[in-house]
Amino acid sequence: MINTQKRLNFVRQHLKNSKIIFLKSDMSPRSYYRVHNTDKNQSFVLMDADLSEDLAPFTMLSNYLNSIKVRAPKIVAQDRENGFLLLEDFGDKTLTKVFQNNSSIKVEQNLFEKSFDILHTIYEQSLKNSTKGLVPNYSLDLYLKEVNLFAAYYFKYCRKKDIPKELAQTWEDLWRSAFSTIDGLTPNTLVLRDYHVDNLMLLNTGELGVLDFQDGVYGSVMYDYISLIEDARRDLNPDLKAHLGKYFFKIFEKKYHQDYAYTADILGAGRHTKILGVFTRYALLQKNTEKLCHLPHTFNLLQKALERSDLREIQYFIKDQGLKCN
């Protein structure tokens, strides 16, 4: 009740005549509201971070992305003390919804190519004005923290018990070895880190806008690539996936290189592992089973990535521990 009044007070400071409608919550403590300015027939989005996170990374990256001509929601007003941001409203057309309403491969190909164009713009700007100091490094410790979510939550979801400490250490050691093999194989860039069709918006101008970039880091150029084409929530037409791989290397002016493909597979395997942990954590801690429907597809993506990158010991670990439980 207190936070409801604080939200209302914040909005009314900037938009006296307005109506607030709940939009959604995500797997973080954040919640989102659409704010209609009845005086000017405008709408905005209110982010309520509930004091659970620092708003500085979001505001900094929003400003940076817009400065390099990548469309991110502009900040209209902010109250960091109470965790509120009033943002530009990008509407409701996520690429997920666009693809659901139009099954044309040409439409899908065009929008995926635009998505890769955004990554190329970010990469080019990273070369001109290094973003290394702008965001944290995608360090080995951070990679390991992510894959350890699998050990902490997916293991418990499957086996109905906590993972023994010695097994958890074995799991971490296997991934430490895997990640060490890709160190320095590809160029680094600003990584948005959750770059997929639910976080890409088709704007009224025909441009694409990006969402959910506040956890951006400085890491491999292949991370957002694999995040986009190996989406935990949907499958991609194999021919389109092959075309997009060629398109990516074309715009980045790179010939197909085994190091790039290998890095993408290792990072993809790590990402799928993390997502299995995130989705089962959401089910176990929040008692919300909404994401569990994606486990079979994500597990399949993980298995294929492990096969392509020849991470046999991790495959054996998963098999030996009976962790195919979706």
Q: Answer yes or no: is 45 within a domain.
A: yes
Clarify whether residues 10 and 48 are in a common domain: yes
Q: Answer yes or no: is 325 within a domain.
A: no
Q: What is the tally of structural domains in the chain?
A: 2
Task: Kindly report the pTM of this predicted structure.
Answer: 0.94
What SS3 state is found at 310?
coil
Distance CA 99, CA 80 (A): 36
Clarify whether residues 80 and 100 are in a common domain: no
CB of 318 closer than 8 Å to CB of 324: yes
Domain span at residue 59? 2-88
Any alpha helices (H) in 32-104, and if so which ranges? 56-67, 95-101
The pLDDT score that the predictor gives to residue 1 is 44
The domain that contains 224 carries what CATH number?
Answer: 3.90.1200.10
How does strand 188-191 pair with strand 42-48?
Answer: unpaired
Distance CA 300, CA 281 (A): 19
The pLDDT score that the predictor gives to residue 16 is 81
Q: Which of 88, 110, 130 is the last residue of a domain?
A: 88
Q: Answer yes or no: is 208 within a domain.
A: yes
pLDDT tens, per residue, the chain with 326 residues: 457 888 888 888 888 888 888 887 777 778 899 999 877 788 999 999 877 788 999 999 999 999 999 999 999 999 988 899 999 999 999 999 999 998 789 999 999 999 999 999 999 998 887 787 889 999 999 999 999 999 999 999 999 999 999 999 999 999 999 999 999 999 999 999 999 999 999 999 999 999 999 999 999 999 999 999 999 999 999 999 999 999 998 888 765 578 999 999 999 999 999 999 999 999 999 888 999 999 999 999 999 999 999 999 999 999 999 998 76
The pLDDT score that the predictor gives to residue 53 is 82
The pLDDT score that the predictor gives to residue 322 is 93
The pLDDT score that the predictor gives to residue 165 is 97
Nearest alpha-carbon partner for 208 in 30, 73, 42, 61: 73
